[in-house]
Structure 1
Amino acid sequence: MKYVVLIYGNPESRTAWEGMSEEQRAAGLAYYQRLNDDLDASGERIVSERLAGVSLTKQVSVRSGETIATDGPFAEVKEFLAGFYLLECESLDRAIEIAARIPEAQFSTVEVRPVMGLYGDEM
């Protein structure tokens, strides 16, 4: 079964990252590389990506056939989508186990959501 793991950042997680020394940041990135390697070895990671900051976000809507693209969120953002994993796991419990290994889970929210089938059927 496929699960998407959505990693949210917040001011606390940004402050923690920005307050780290270069060595601590390198260790954090190395941790993510080990996590990715572990999930690749088990065949559970389909893809994972870090997302650009909210300042580069565009919101798109279509009204009366016109496409409107505006700069990122206008309201103050308390949490923002920072990255994601797309996993193939045997169970929701396993996806939650993996999500708990993501460092942001200590500061913010990491959401696990089943991926719906092609025709909208929940898997």
Structure 2
Amino acid sequence: MALAQHLVVNASCKDGKSFYYSSSINIAVAVAIDGGLITPCSSGCRQVGFVFVISEVERAGGEGSLKQLQPHGYNSGTFTLSNLGMLGVDRFDAILPPGQGAIRAVGASKPTVVADADGFFSV
């Protein structure tokens, strides 16, 4: 929904001067493979719900499916999610795939000690 409401996040710069605003929302997820990274994507996300998008990306990102993935299945994303949080990484810089306008790096949360308004410590 956010990508549909904020078209500039779903746009990309094609020639270093002009922007291309995609009419479709294709969410890709960064997946590590031997020797690199691939971004299988779920196309047409404007018309479907989040749970469907995630299940489609997980299906496309399965080890057997990655070997059969055609170029359109990994280079048609308009927005990418990169999640190293599941590996315990709390911050990192995600690298934007060519042809896309934005990527979201998701890191792990970690307990942090803070003082509350009364001066007591809490996590």
Using the size of structure 2 for normalisation, the TM-score is: 0.26
- Greater relative contact order (CA < 8 Å, ≥ 6 in sequence): 1
Which structure would you say has the larger Rg? 2
Using the size of structure 1 for normalisation, the TM-score is: 0.26
Flag the structure with higher strand content. Answer: 1
